[in-house]
Structure 1
Amino acid sequence: MAFVGTAEQVADRFLEYINIGISSFILSGYPNLEEATISGNALIPAVRRKLEERRQSSQDIAAV
């Protein structure tokens, strides 16, 4: 599977897979160093932020 797009767009696709139970991903691209830098600086933080937002949202709903 290949994802192409901004870090935000790819993070959204990752969350779709996380929603169905996928918990491990292999990130690769070419050129390797540039793609690893993009993943580390933009993609992974975007996924973490979106997961945290979802967690907070579910806590807010549970508190109601």
Structure 2
Amino acid sequence: MPCKLEDILGKIFDPYFTTKGKTREKGLGLYTAKLLIEKSMKGTITVRNIDGWCEFRIEL
């Protein structure tokens, strides 16, 4: 059963979080992006749901 975006928004940047199952991806991509943007670049990354689509915003 597919995940609803509203159900995962609070966890989307957590390490090892994935919606693809345990045998596939490791779930580190968005976590790593958040670390790089916030710690190395002193910026922010956020996500929100707009009409069923996922919008990521990166501010540096």
Q: TM-score range, shorter-chain basis?
A: 0.3 to 0.5
User: Going by fraction, where is strand more abundant, 1 or 2?
Assistant: 2
Q: Which has the bigger relative contact order, CA under 8 A and spacing at least 6?
A: 1
Instruction: Name which one, 1 or 2, has greater alpha-carbon Rg.
Output: 1
TM-score by length of 1: 0.32
User: Going by fraction, where is helix more abundant, 1 or 2?
Assistant: 1
TM-score by length of 2: 0.34
